[in-house]
Amino acid sequence: MGPLVVNVADLLHRRGARRHERLIAPSLPGLAVVGTVVPPHEPINVDVDLESVSDGILATGSVTARWRSECRRCLADVADEARGGFQELFEPQAREGETYPLRHEHVDLEPLARETLLLELPLAPLCREECRGLCPTCGADLNRGACRCAPPDRDPRWEALDELRDQLNR
């Protein structure tokens, strides 16, 4: 059994019974989305309340893990923590896409933890909100200062809007 598999035999026989679990998985391989990755050495923390209900076991809790990526504007390394909440039902006869399977008096929280974290990983992370990115001409990091490139020529299609802006600002 994996580190996120929990025996719930004691809960199944007492409807309404609850138990809190704090679980740590050494890692979950393959946790990545568009360049953002949970490194293989990073632990996955699961905090869960398990409750016996008429249909099975209700799992309510959160999953946290550290992730790494590149800033989408300046390509600097970025690292942060992803935290996602969940409330899902584990049933003996799981319904595809709706509930999770309850097998042999055990719930396996790994698929739930994996899905929750994948939804929380950023698709386009920034090193900071005001990141200025890279110069499109020379590639200089504009967060460290201005580059010496000439400003790009203004697209002539904007002239009419520039004139309108100037009139409104008078």
Which pLDDT value is given to residue 10? 93
The overall average pLDDT reported for the chain is 92
Which pLDDT value is given to residue 133? 95
pTM of the model: 0.79
**Distance separating the N- and C-terminal Cα atoms of the chain:** 73
Q: In Å, how far are 8, 74, 145, 166 from 109, measured between CA atoms?
A: 12, 37, 47, 60
Q: What residue segments make up the domains of the chain, in order of their start?
A: 5-120, 132-170
One-character DSSP codes across 91-143: ETTPPTTT-EEEETTEEE-HHHHHHHHHHHS-SS--SSTT---B-TTT--BTT
